[in-house]
Structure 1
Amino acid sequence: MKKKNVAIVIPTLQGNGAERMVLTLAEGFIQQGYTVNIVLTLKRSIELKSSRQLKIHYFKKYYRWIPKIIRGIFLAPILDKFIVNRCDNPNLVLSNLLPSDRILCYSKLNTYLIIHNTISKQNNNFAEMRSIYTKKPVICVSQGVKTDFDRFFNSRFPSYYIYNPIDVDFINQESIKFKPKYHDYLVHVGKFKKQKRHDILIKAYHQSGIENPLILIGKGHLKEKYKKLVNNLDLNEKVIFAGFQPNPYPFIKYARLMVLSSDFEGFGMVITEALALKTPVISTNCPSGPSEILPKNNLVPVNDIEKLAQLMQQANNNPLIFSHPLNKKFYLDFTTKKYIDIING
């Protein structure tokens, strides 16, 4: 009988989309009868909830003193040995995010690199990206990410796209754990970083004249900057910075509307999470992801404050018009089987 054993490698399990995806995918593999081990390569930090107790290992190597250009060559054999010993020699290794990919692109194990964002839109060193992501097969989290990858990277290895999985049962169970103290509000869930464009969201919200409060969930280095913007626009009573929430699902479930304002995404998993909770979503039509999930009338051009304000106003007045069902292709069992197809070759 063929071994059913997967190792998923990621720097940390702090609260972001890639980390949530890893925990959800681990659950999907377990449901399909696989043994799953998670390996952390940067920090022993776990902020997110999982539906079960997982086998988590910490690759504690102080390697930041090693120049990035040779870090993978030096550490890959050590990490390979760690994975083989701790994870019972898995028949598939899935690497996530640059600090792990930088090492595992040199792995001798059956390794795939998962690309979580639109590489051409990030301020990365393209030469380094090419040296990493053309050494292994890659799995992109949306069709848009794959198109972007294929356009800019001429790899001899295959590329695939598999949507980020959504564990609808887990999300719905978590969504009723408590009820937020806020009422009849709009919500945005995402880290305070440039890509998410909270400045566009806040300015559009101000221009829309909506009286319903706007709840911002997340943390990040730009948070204080956006607090100043809120203060300058005299929105302190209406825009609420709710901080990082290990369980954001009640905030999403009870929201009147979710709004995304990103310049780019890899997938936009928070959109599918909202749809799983039957919360209407509007978003910028950014690369990549939103247009693969939402209909055209739920989308506005990137960086267009006026049109986002107009759509926010329309959706706030008639949220049901902007409701959209979650397609089965995003469900956990469907996406996990796509990964299993790769394993079975």
Structure 2
Amino acid sequence: MKKIAYLMGNFGIGGAEVSTLTLLNGFVKLGYLVDLVLAYGSKVEWDKQCDFNIIKLQLDKYKKHPLRHIILKNKLDKFSEKSKYDAILTAQTSKSWEKILNQLDKKHNISYIIRNSFTKKRIDKNDNLLLKSFKRKYLANMYRNKNIICVSKGVYNDLVKNIGIKSDSIITIYNPFDTNYILNKSKEHFNLPVDDYIIHVGRFDIRHKRQDILLKAYKKANLKEKLILLGEGSGQQYLEKLIDELQLNGKVILHPMVTNPYPLIKNAKLLVLSSDYEGLPRALIEALILKTPVVSTNCESGPSEILTGELADFLVPTGDVDAFTEKMQQALRSYPKIKDEYIKKFEQLNVCRQYIEFLGLNS
């Protein structure tokens, strides 16, 4: 039986972790041995939902060590050598991890999952032209001739056209979704904070998620439905201040992230996404699976590949408060039927089979 490893720093709670969990469980369903290898301790235990092995290297004590990167590289190298995996996957693309993985890749042939636009994630819009050029060249060189899986066509286009990454082994494979699991979890009891509401799911990050645009549009729309912002993050104080300035106290609820958001999404009148950039936003697809209407910004990567056909009418330009206001009002009045065909390409086993083919593990 062939073995697959997935390398991560730690395993918290969020869209990336859910995508990973769904992918690895899918590999197990297809008959592969799967290890999730964590460098550091996991702050949230997902073991009850995991059909794969979780291996904790427990390197937390080295986090502040001056030679921590060398120690991590050597530990991962020895572990991978001993375990003899047929394929190794990772979505670790921070600068510190890149240097470690680049050295390991020479021996272990790692495949990289890229979840976000590098142009948005790694290059600051305030960088001068020289620094932007340097960063592009660094990234193009770092990922040259790597095995790369992009989670959307938008991410693929960014890597190839904007960053200039050259590789004969780069492909788009969408994140997987376990439809039956999502539907079943959505039926679990949850004490809803209010009856009629619209919802945004995502960390509190104004630079990326742009909840400021959402709040201004919500204020202008003057909706009877309350707005739940489901998430956590460093932007919470800013959001609390903005809610107060817009006189939306009592109308907007900041709700901590939960391990099972599906009852909240299912019972929402509308799910909204206001981001300036994404990779492949899970919340949009989860909402469609649960037949919840969606309004989203048409940011560079993801939403236009999800909201297709009649649903494309509910994509709005990034940063456009007026357009967002109008589409929320329209969606609450009338929304097209959400057909199963919109989500087929994201189905768990279809996606996992594409991975297996790309990794050359069919035989």
What TM-score does the superposition give when structure 1 sets the normalisation length? 0.91
Amino acid in the other structure paired with 1:314: Q
Match of 2:213 in 1: 200
Q: 2-side partners of 1:106 and 1:203: how far apart?
A: 47
> Are 1:227 and 2:240 an aligned pair?
yes
Equivalent position of 1:321 in the other structure: 336
Deviation at 1:129, TM superposition (A): 3.3
Which runs of 5 or more structure 2 residues have no equivalent in the other structure?
Answer: 124-134
1:257 and 2:270 matched: yes
- Structure 1 residue 106 displacement after superposition: 2.1
Residue 163 of structure 1 aligns to a residue whose secondary structure is coil
Pair 94,64 (structure 1): closer, same or farther in 2 beyond 3 Å = farther
Aligned match of 1:119:
118
Q: 1:39 aligns with which of 30, 37, 40?
A: 37
Contact 1:12 1:46 in 2 (8 A): no
Counterparts in 2 of 1:245 and 1:79: CA distance versus 1, 3 Å? same
Output the CA distance in 2 between the equivalents of 1:19 and 1:271: 16
In the alignment, structure 1 residue 79 sits paired with structure 2 residue 94: no
| SS class of match (1:250) | helix
CA contact (8 A) 1:101 1:113 kept: no
Q: Is 2:164 the counterpart of 1:153? A: yes
Tell me which residue corresponds to 2:148: 138
Give the % identical residues. 36
Is it true that 1:183 corresponds to 2:195 in the alignment? yes
Contact 1:195 1:264 in 2 (8 A): yes
- Shift in Å at residue 298 of structure 1? 1.5
The reply on whether 1:91 has 2:86 as its aligned counterpart is: yes
Distance 1:47 1:232 in 2: 38
Counterpart for residue 291 of structure 2: 278
Report the Cα offset of residue 102 of structure 1.
Answer: 4.0
1:341 deviates by 0.3
- Residue among 179, 183, 195 paired with 1:168: 179
**Matches of 1:276 and 1:311 in 2, distance apart?**
21
> Could you give the per-residue CA deviations for residues 182-209 of structure 1, whole angstroms, max 9, x where no partner exists?
2121001001112110101111111111
RMSD over aligned CA atoms reads: 2.1
**Distance across 2 between alignment mates of 1:42 and 1:101:** 17
Q: Residues of 2 paired with 1:77 and 1:91: CA distance?
A: 20
Change beyond 3 A, Cα 1:246–1:339: same
Deviations 1:234-290 (A, max 9, x none): 111110011111111111011111000000001111111111111111100001000
Q: 1:33-72 maps to which residues of 2 (within 5 A)? A: 33-46=31-44, 51-61=49-59, 62-66=62-66, 71=69
Amino acid at match of 2:217: A
SS state of the match for residue 238, structure 2?
helix
Structure-2 residue corresponding to 1:8 = 6
Q: Are the equivalent residues in 2 in contact too, given 1:114–1:139 (CA < 8 A)?
A: yes
| 1:151-199 C-alpha deviation (Å, 9 max, x unpaired) | 1133345211100000111111111111324212100100111211010
**Contact 1:92/1:343, CA 8 A, preserved across alignment:** yes
In structure 2, relative to structure 1, the CA distance for the partners of 1:230 and 1:49 (3 Å cut) is farther
Contact 2:80 2:108 in 1 (8 A): no
